[in-house]
Structure 1
Amino acid sequence: MIKNLRKKLFFTTCFAVSVLTSQAQTGLHFDGSDDYILTDLGGVLGNSPRTVEAWVKWSYQSRQALIVEWGGGTPTEDGGPRFTFKIQSSKVRIETGGAYNYLDGSTYLNSSWHHVAVTYDPSQENEYKLYVDGNLDAEGSFTGTGTDTQDAANIQIGGRNANIGATAFSGTIDDVRIWNVARTQSEILADMNNELCDLPAELVAYYKLNEGTVNGSNLAITSVVNEVSSTDVNELKNFALSGNAYSNYAAGKVTSGIDTTITSDDVTLTANQVDAAYQWVDVDNANAEIEGATSQDFTPSESGNYAVEITVGSCVVISETVNFVSGTLSLEDTLFSNNLKLYPNPTSGHVNVALNEVYQTVDAQLVSITGKVVATYQFSNTNEFAIDLNNFNSGLYFLNLKADNLDALTVKVVKM
């Protein structure tokens, strides 16, 4: 279908209204050998209440795999000095050091994404509770001396720096949260699937792990951000940070929860996310900020590709990209758009494009539903051509066409 507007032409490079309601963020893949994060922040100490949460996609290991740990030293009469949240024998475990100071979960974890959490509240009969995917997995108190976390080592994620070979986590970790309260099950369930944008006072540390690009060259990144205290230095230790998502940034689990779609009334672009801060950007100019374009609505003064940076609390995302063509359609533009034929559509291989007349130059872009240009083509002195889609995955694509000096138009193409 060709979207043809008389006064303004507006073509989205992805579903613009109801499909893209959030964007998955990144996580970090740990190689199970020596990758870990060393923060400069001490965790909750003594026997104070606390909660640790994280999303994990674990690759099976026969030994322990640390998720989050801090503290250390010699056990005292008051309890174990270390606070270790990990996977042991394919189940989550909390332990504090010292004999019998541990509690095991009951669910065997597979290689899928799982949300895991531990809470500690010394005022409760069952001091510790373990959760998997929001479900209570185990509860109880230690049969040893208990909990007395000491300030011997800062928070570490994915392994213990003093014994990394025996503790390194294998798999991807995303969205690590540490609280100075014991959260309830309903509180954990309420926001475990979305990033936190408004940070509660009880949140001690929050590592979204969104600094890099999936499978990209992330060599310049040496530290991850603690959203609670952005000046912290939280070092990435031994990560390759280049190539495929192994020892590098990988696809994460949680989403921003922010609506990244844009709609139009054929003249004005509108970000569908409400109650946010907005900055419209010129995608064709390396996402340069458009001066003064800081409202939810934006009326472009010229043709181009546009997006909006949306800020909600501490969360910042870029919307989908839209292609906006300004100006009244000439007779030639109308003939070009009205007489264009595309067949077969849907297609399992080639798609043929027939134009109303011979054009000197026809430029074409094939755009995925995520807004990525996956192929470009140029044809000369022709009124018809074919595009081979055999090597592309099934799904919806957008074919942007521009013939000579006529306005561009976009056609939806379905690859079966």
Structure 2
Amino acid sequence: MDCGSGINLTNTSFTIEFWAKRKITGKWHMIVFQGDQKKHHGLHIGFRDSDVFTLAFYGDDLNTGKFTDTDWHHWSCVYDVDRQQQIIYRDGQLEACRQPANYEGTGNFYIGALKGTSAFFEGQLADLRIWQEVRTPQEIQHGMNSRLTGNESGLIAYWSLDEGEGTTITDKTGNGNDGTITGAVWEQMEIPFEDAEPSSKGNIVITLNGKQEYIEIPSDSTLDLLDKLIIRFQSGAARIKKDSIKIKMKTSKSKKKPSRKRKPRKNIFL
């Protein structure tokens, strides 16, 4: 998913949040990438092939301990430019922190791949959010289990990724940052969070096979972030047909009972 060059995180604070469920372990799964592969210029967030989770600026990186499960987990990646801190939360709990130099990269913002050419994420993806602020642990814990409406204060881009058909994802803030899907499959399955607006379509996700699939969002000046930023999205395991878009529906049964009944809903699989 190539989101274009309109997202400017250079020398700013930001938070990136998502739910992730890998299909397999022991390989690179990049969920976010921007910039170039030189020190302090390459933002990349996801799993390394050693199964550690990373918030990295390229050569100036924060890593967690090793995780080898393929369950749903909520990840929050924070950079506080004022305190010069990288912070990683897993399921709302602190996992790691350190003090790096500022991130100075620019360029296209990719979801589900490193520059759209490698380290493709193999799993499910839903509910990607960008905020122009730093989220506190309390805000992360309060908001991690629910969808947004798109009208929340501080929200500048929001892709719920539950369209269920077609090759376009819609920015629900109304700021026009719609994206184009390259090689993905919409599927129906259970997700570990609540919908602000339940749909009769079910839990729809888009599936990528970890090889050649991503989403492109054109450059837009509304995402020229020179202040503070939060990006939030949700992700998990996936399947895809290479070099093609194929829409199909499948109901997946969860092994665990949800805390309460939820209406099925479509999300996007990577």
**Normalising TM by the smaller chain, what interval?**
0.5 to 0.7
Partner of 2:187: 249
State the shift of 1:198 in Å: 5.3
Q: Distance in 2 between matches of 1:204 and 1:198?
A: 9
| Structure 1 residues 90-129: aligned runs within 5 Å | 90-97=51-58, 99=59, 101-106=60-65, 108-124=67-83, 127-129=85-87
Unmatched segments (≥5 aa) in structure 1: 1-36, 213-217, 242-247, 258-314, 321-416
Q: Distance in 1 between matches of 2:125 and 2:30?
A: 11
Q: Distance in 1 between matches of 2:65 and 2:133?
A: 24
- The answer as to 2:46 corresponding to 1:86 is yes
State the shift of 1:113 in Å: 0.7
Q: Distance in 1 between matches of 2:187 and 2:174?
A: 22
CA contact (8 A) 1:103 1:140 kept: yes
Match of 1:236 among 172, 181, 199: 181
The code of the aligned residue for 1:224 comes to I
State the shift of 1:151 in Å: 2.4
CA contact (8 A) 1:205 1:227 kept: yes
The code of the aligned residue for 2:24 comes to Y
State the shift of 1:131 in Å: 0.7
Partner of 2:98: 140
Deviation sequence 1:57-79 (CA, Å, 0-9, x none): 1122323211122233654xxxx
Match of 1:58 among 17, 22, 25: 22
Residue aligned with 1:190, SS? helix
Q: Distance in 2 between matches of 1:49 and 1:41?
A: 18
The code of the aligned residue for 2:57 comes to T
CA contact (8 A) 2:5 2:107 kept: no
The code of the aligned residue for 2:11 comes to N
Q: TM-score, normalised by structure 1?
A: 0.44
Fraction of identical pairs, as percent: 22
Deviation sequence 1:237-263 (CA, Å, 0-9, x none): 122x3xxxxxx3342332214xxxxxx
Task: Determine which structure has greater relative contact order: mean sequence separation of CA pairs < 8 Å that are 6+ residues apart, divided by chain length.
Answer: 2
The code of the aligned residue for 2:192 comes to K
Q: Larger Rg: 1 or 2?
A: 1
Q: Distance in 2 between matches of 1:198 and 1:205?
A: 8
CA contact (8 A) 2:25 2:69 kept: no
Across the aligned residues of Structure 1 and Structure 2, the Cα RMSD in angstroms comes to: 2.4
Deviation sequence 1:232-291 (CA, Å, 0-9, x none): 23111122x3xxxxxx3342332214xxxxxxxxxxxxxxxxxxxxxxxxxxxxxxxxxx
State the shift of 1:132 in Å: 0.7
The code of the aligned residue for 2:94 comes to L
Q: 1:191 to 1:73 in 2, by over 3 A?
A: same
The code of the aligned residue for 1:226 comes to D
Residue aligned with 1:62, SS? coil
Deviation sequence 1:325-361 (CA, Å, 0-9, x none): xxxxxxxxxxxxxxxxxxxxxxxxxxxxxxxxxxxxx
Q: Distance in 2 between matches of 1:38 and 1:319?
A: 27
Unmatched segments (≥5 aa) in structure 2: 203-270
Q: Distance in 2 between matches of 1:107 and 1:121?
A: 24
State the shift of 1:81 in Å: 1.4
Residue aligned with 1:111, SS? coil
